[in-house]
Amino acid sequence: MKLRFVLLALVVAVSATALIAWRSGWNAHSDHVNALAAAKKEKAEKSIQPVEIKAAAASAEAKVIYRTITRDVVKYVQSPDRTVCQFDDTAVQLRQRAIDAANSISGFDAGTVQGK
């Protein structure tokens, strides 16, 4: 009877030791994977940072250009002959300024707008 208890205690001790070792290895692997992911995220954030700064500067520059064009569009639309569908020099110039403004904004990957 005592031999059974000794063998059972030995099996339980070995199983507990194996379980603890397995959990320890799994936790070490998890920590390693998390550290790799954190390093990859940090590297990606560092590589994107200059692009974000450039895009913010381009966006600020674009706001000034678009305010000017919007002011001119409002002035043009409020004219009494706005329903006439003949494009005078002012309308053509306004359209060309909008196209030039869209093409001059640096920092974005979009292609240029085609003019006529």
Amino acid at 40: K
The tokens for 92 are 């053509």
pTM of the model: 0.39
Taking residue 84's Cβ as centre, other Cβ atoms within 10 Å add up to: 9
pLDDT for position 47? 86
Rounded distance between C-alpha atoms, residue 86 and residue 97, angstroms? 18
Share of the chain above pLDDT 90, in %: 26
Rounded distance between C-alpha atoms, residue 61 and residue 27, angstroms? 50
pLDDT for position 99? 76
Please provide the size of the chain in residues: 116
